[in-house]
A and B are shown apart, each in its own frame.
Chain A
Amino acid sequence: MPAGDFRTELKGLVEFQRGLRSMQQPELKNTVQRSMSDAARTILVPAIKSKAPRGPAPHTSAAKGKRGREGPLSRNVTVKQARKRDARVNNEMVSMNTGPRAWYRHFVIQGTQPHSLAKGASVRKGLRQNVGRQHPGSQDNNFVEEAVTGKNTELARATGDALIRRFKQAIGKP
C-alpha cells in the first residue's frame, strides 16, 4: 500500500462493457454476419470451387494432370446473406448461403432427365419433347454437398475465430 493518498479503482469495466455491447443486438448481428462470411469464404468457397466441374483439359503434355478450364460454376462461388425463415421461432439472427452463382447450377447439381433440345421444348410444360434432337440427360453432380459435407465443425470454428478477432478489436485488445 503506498504511503500517501488512498485510492480505489475499478479497472477494466469500460473495456468490458465495450465488449459486451459488441455482443448485443444489433452489433452482434453484424459481427456474426461478417464473421460467418469470413469463415465461409475461407472454408466453403475453396471447397466448392475445388469440387465444381470444369471443362476438359487441353490434350497437351504441359497440361497433363491439370484440371480443365474453369467456368462460372467454379469461378463465381460467393457468400450471400439469405432470407431468414423462422426468425421468431428459432431466434435466427443471421442466415447465409454459399454456392456457385450460375443460372444453370441446378442442372449440374441435380442432373437432368432426357429432354428435347428443340426450340420451345419444355420438360416442365411437357412441350415438344418428341421433336428435335434429344439430349440423353445428365447425371446429378452434387458437388456443393460433397464439398461442404463434414465441414460444419470447421466452419463453426472459423466463425468463432473471426468473432474473437472482432470482439478483441471491440475491447481494444491486440
Chain B
Amino acid sequence: MANVQHQITANYTAVDNISRTTQNIDKNVTHLTKSFTKLSGAFQNAFQFYVRFRIFGLINQGIGAIEGAIPGLIARGQEWARTVDDVADSTGLAAGQASIFSGVAMVMTGNTEGLTRALGALAQQTANHGDVLKRYGIQTKAANGLLLDTWTILGNVRRALSDVGNSFITTAAARDLLSRGGQQMLDWLTMSDAAFRMLVRDVRASGAVMTEAGLATADAWERTRRRLDLQITGVGNTLTQTLGPVLMRLVDGITNVIRDNLSQIVSFVATVVGFVTGVVSSLLGIDMTVESFAEKQDKAGTSSDKLRTKLDRMAQSRQEQVKTEDRYTDSLKRQIDAIDRQLAALSRQERAENARAEQKRLLTEIAEAKKELNDLRGKAVFAAGMSNKEAELARQAQAADIIEAQKKVTDAQKRLREHERQQAMDQRRFELEQRRTMLQEQLADHMKALADRNAADREAMGQMLGQQKAGFGKMAKNIRQAMAAGRKAFDEAFGKGVAFTPELNSMLFGERDDKGNVVAEGLVQHLERAATQMGNLVNVLSDLYDFLIKTKVSTPVGDFSVMELVLGGFLVKWAAGLGASVLGTLGLGSLATALGAAALPITVAAVAVAGVGIAAVDFANKVGKAQEDLRTAWDGLDTESMLTKLEEAISSKLGLGDLGPVERAVGKTFGLGDIEKLIVNAARTIATDPNASPGQLKTASQRLSTLIAMLQGEGSQGTAFDQIKELQKTIDHRLTQDGTRDKDIFVPLRNAASETKSALTKGGYLPQAIDASNRYLQRLAYPRPGFIWGQANVNLYMDKELLMTIAGVPIAQGNSSLRPQSGR
C-alpha cells in the first residue's frame, strides 16, 4: 500500500507486483503437466506388468530348484577321475596313489597338466638309471632284485632329493632323471618326509583321493550322465521354461524401464527444476544460474541411448552441477544473510520508540503550525487609520503570512507522511523476518507430512520384500532339514552310517574334514547356495525399492525421494514459500500466513538429476551383476531329472542296480566265479523287489551268508565286500518285518507324498511343502530296508518334487502310483 493521503478522503493504492510472476508460474505449470503426462504414460506402460505382486510370489515359490550343482559337481569329479586314471595307467600306480600325486601336483602347481607324462617319464628314468640312483642312496630294487613299485621308488627319489638337495640336482643323472618333464615336479620331489606327509594329508582331506571302486564308479557316472542327457523332465525344465524367463524379464524389465525412460525422467525433472528456479528467481530477484543446471540435465538426459553411457555422462557433469547448486544455495544463503544483517541492524524496538517520538514531534509541529495558521487567519487586519493602500498591503502581508504558515503545515504534514512511509517499510522488514521463519517451519512440516503420508506405502512394500527375503532363508533351512530327514531314513534303512558309498555320500552331503568343516560342497550346500543366490536377487530388487524410496535429493524447495517423483508424489511447493515472498511486496504478509495455513494440497518435487544419476549408476551395476549371476545359474541348470540320476547312482553305487561296480569289484578283487556273481546278482534283485516273498528272501540270505563266509576265509575286505555284507543285511532286515508294519511306513510316506503334491498343486510355497513331507518322514520309526528303499526311492522321487518344483507345478502330475514309473 502506498501514498496514503489523509486529507479530504483516505486514498490508497495497490501495486501489482504479482501478475507477471504468477503468469510465469502458470505457464510453467502447464509445461509441467504436459511433461508429467508423457512420463506417467511411459512408466505406466512399463511398470504395469513388472510390478505385480505375483512376480514376487513366483520368485518365492521357485527358489529351491537350481540344479546346476549336480552337473558341475559330477563334471569336476569326472575330470579328476580321468586325471587320476591317466596317471595310474602311465605309472602303474594304484588309484589312491595316483590321486595323491595328482592332488599334490594340484596343490603345488595349481594344475595337473603334463603330470601323466612327467610321472611316466620319471618312472622310466628311474628304471634306466638305477645304478646311478643307487649311488645317491635311491633304492630302485628290492632285496630280491625285483624292481620296486613305482610308489616306493618315487618316495625314495623324493627322500633322496630332499636330503641331497642341490648337489644331486646339478648332476647329469639328475638332469636325465628329471629331463623329460620332471622339472615341474621338482618342488615336491625335494620335499621332506614330514612336509610331504602333511601335503598328502591335505590331499586326502580334500576328498580328492579316489579308490579303485571310485574310478570305476566315475565310469558308471559318465555313462549315466550321457544317457540322462537325453532326458528332459523335471522341475529344472519347468523352472527354466516358466520362472526363468519371467525372472529374466523382471530383472530386464526394471533395468529397461529405468534405461528407456531415463530421458523422460531427466527431462521432466529438468522441467520441474526450471519451473521452481524460474519462479524463485523472478520473485527473489536472484540471478539464477541454476537455469544452466537444468539445461545440462536436459542435455544429459536426451543425448544418449545407452543407460550406462547416459548415466556416466550425468555423473561426469555432476561436478559442474554441484558447483551450480552450490552457487544457487550460496545465493539463497546470501539473501537470507542479507536479511538477517538488515534486520539486526534495524533494531526494531529502538526504531519503534524513535519513530513514536518522531511522530509525536511531527504532530506537535503540525499542530503548532496549524495553530499559527489559525491565529493568522483569525487575526483581522486592523486597518483603522490606514489608507486603502496601507490596508491592502497589510492584508497582503497577512495573506503572505497565512500562505507561509500553510506551507509550514504542508511541510510538516509531508514529513509526517514520510515518517509513516518509513514506518511502513520497517513494518515490512519485520514481516519479512517473520515470513522467513514461517517458511522454514512450513517446509519442515511439509516434508514431515510427505514422509508420513508415504510411510504406509513404504512400509507395506518393505514388509513384502522382507517376507520374500525371509522366505529364502527358510527355504535353505528347509532344504537342509529335508535332506537330513531323508538321510536319516536311509541310514536307518541300510544300517548305521552305511547309507551310501563314500562317493555318493560326498556328492550329496559334501566332504568334511576331521573337525566337521565342509571342504567340498555337496548337493545340499549347492542348493543352499542357490537359494542364497535367488535371495541376493531379491535383495537387489529390494535395493531398487530402497533406491526409489530412500534416495533423497536436495532441491531448492526441500528434499524429495525419487519414488515420490515417480509414483505420483508430485506436488507444487508454492503456497507458503513463493506466495509469501510475492505478497510481501504488497505488504500483505497475512496473506502468506493464511495461504500456508490453508495448506494447499499441491507441491512440486524438484529432483536434482545428478544425484539420481549417481544412485542409478550404482543400482544399474547391481542389477546387471544379479542378472549375470542368475544367468550363470540358469545356464548351468541341467534339465535332467535329479531323481533319475540319483536313482541310477544309488542303484549302481549299492550294487543293487545293474551290478556294474560290485560285479567288477568282486570279479577283480576276489576272483569270484560266475556262480558267485550270479548269487550276488540274484540277491540284489530280490532285495529290491517289494513283492519278494519271504521264502525268496530267505534263500537269498542263506546264499549270501555262504558267499560271505567264503570271502572272509580268503581275507577279503574292501568296499565291494562291505557292500555284499550290506546286501545280506538288507535282505535279513526285510525278513524281520511283517506286513503289519506296512501301515507304519507305507501310509505315512504316501500321505507325505500326497500332501506335498496337494500343496504344490494348489500353488503352495515350497517351504510349506517341504515341511509337510518332513512331518511324515519324521514319523518313520523303523523303516524296512528293502521296502523302504522302494518307498524311499519313491519319496526321493517325491523329494525331487519337493526340492525342485517351482511355481506350483509339481512334477508327475496325475501320477497316482507311488512306484517309479518306467523310463524314469
Contacts and interface: CB of A to CB of B under 8 A. Distances in A.
Contacts of B572: 12-13, 16
Interface in B39-83: 39-40, 43-44, 47-48, 51-54
Contacts of B436: none
A119 interface: no
Contact of A16 (B9, B53, B424, B600): B600
Interface in B184-238: none
Interface string B8-38: 1111111111110011011001101100110
Given A48-B10, A97-B11, A6 B33 contact: no
Contacts of B595: 164, 167
Given A20-B26, A96-B11, A98-B10, A152 B420 contact: yes
B461 A1 contact: yes
Given A16-B29, A16-B574, A152 B424 contact: yes
B43 A114 contact: no
Contacts of B4: 148, 152
B13 A95 contact: yes
Contacts of A1: 51, 457, 460-461, 567
Interface in A3-19: 3-13, 15-17, 19
A91 B571 CA distance: 32
A157 B37 CA distance: 40
A147 B10 CA distance: 9
Given A19-B600, A23-B22, A90-B2, A6 B378 contact: no
B675 interface: no
B583 interface: yes
Contacts of A159: 1, 14, 588
A101 B460 CA distance: 69
B378 A137 contact: yes
A113 to B, nearest CB: 4
B566 A140 contact: no
Contacts of B547: none
Given A10-B33, A106-B8, 15 more contacts: A6-B48, A8-B568, A12-B572, A13-B33, A15-B601, A16-B572, A82-B11, A93-B16, A94-B14, A95-B12, A97-B11, A98-B9, A114-B378, A137-B378, A160-B588
A111 interface: yes
Interface stretch (A25-33, A55-63, A64-72): A25-33
A145 B7 contact: yes
Interface string A40-63: 100010001000000000000000
Nearest to A161: B590
A67 B373 CA distance: 29
The 9 closest A-B pairs by CB, nearest first: A99-B9, A12-B602, A145-B6, A3-B53, A93-B16, A160-B590, A160-B588, A97-B9, A164-B594
B51 to A, nearest CB: 6
Nearest to A4: B52
A20 B377 contact: no
A28 B21 CA distance: 12
Interface of A: 1, 3-13, 15-17, 19-21, 23-25, 28-29, 32-33, 36, 40, 44, 48, 82, 84, 90-100, 105-106, 109, 111, 113-114, 136-137, 139-140, 142, 144-145, 147-149, 152-153, 155-157, 159-161, 163-164, 167-168, 171, 173
Contact of A15 (B40, B460, B600): B600
B570 interface: yes
A162 B393 CA distance: 57
B370 interface: yes
B12 A17 contact: no
A114 B398 CA distance: 13
A44 to B, nearest CB: 6
B380 interface: yes
A84 B16 CA distance: 13
Contact of B29 (A17, A90, A144, A173): A17
A35 B374 CA distance: 39
B605 to A, nearest CB: 11
Most A C-beta atoms less than 10 A away, residue of B13, B32, B37, B47: B13
B717 interface: no
A95 B594 contact: no
Interface string B358-395: 00000000000010001001101000000000000000
Contacts of B583: 160
Given A93-B16, A94-B13, A109 B568 contact: no
B497 to A, nearest CB: 51
A92 B568 contact: no
Most B C-beta atoms less than 10 A away, residue of A8, A111, A153: A8
Interface in B559-589: 566-568, 570-572, 574, 583, 586-589
Most B C-beta atoms less than 10 A away, residue of A48, A100, A173: A173
Nearest to A48: B10
B146 interface: no
B732 to A, nearest CB: 59
A44 B9 CA distance: 10
A53 to B, nearest CB: 15
B248 to A, nearest CB: 20
Contacts of B586: 156
A7 B600 contact: no
Contacts of B568: 7-11
Contacts of B18: 23-24, 28
A67 B435 CA distance: 43
B28 to A, nearest CB: 10
A65 B1 CA distance: 38
A161 B600 contact: no
Contact of B377 (A19, A48, A114, A167): A114
Contact of B19 (A9, A28, A167): A28
A11 B13 contact: no
B598 interface: yes
B434 interface: no
A159 to B, nearest CB: 7
17 contacts: A1-B51, A8-B566, A10-B33, A13-B33, A36-B12, A44-B10, A92-B13, A93-B13, A97-B12, A99-B10, A106-B8, A109-B7, A142-B7, A144-B10, A145-B6, A147-B10, A156-B590
Given A156-B588, A164-B594, A10 B9 contact: no
B591 interface: yes
A136 B378 contact: yes
Contacts of A171: 600
Contact of A28 (B16, B51, B402): B16
A15 B2 CA distance: 32
A164 B590 contact: yes
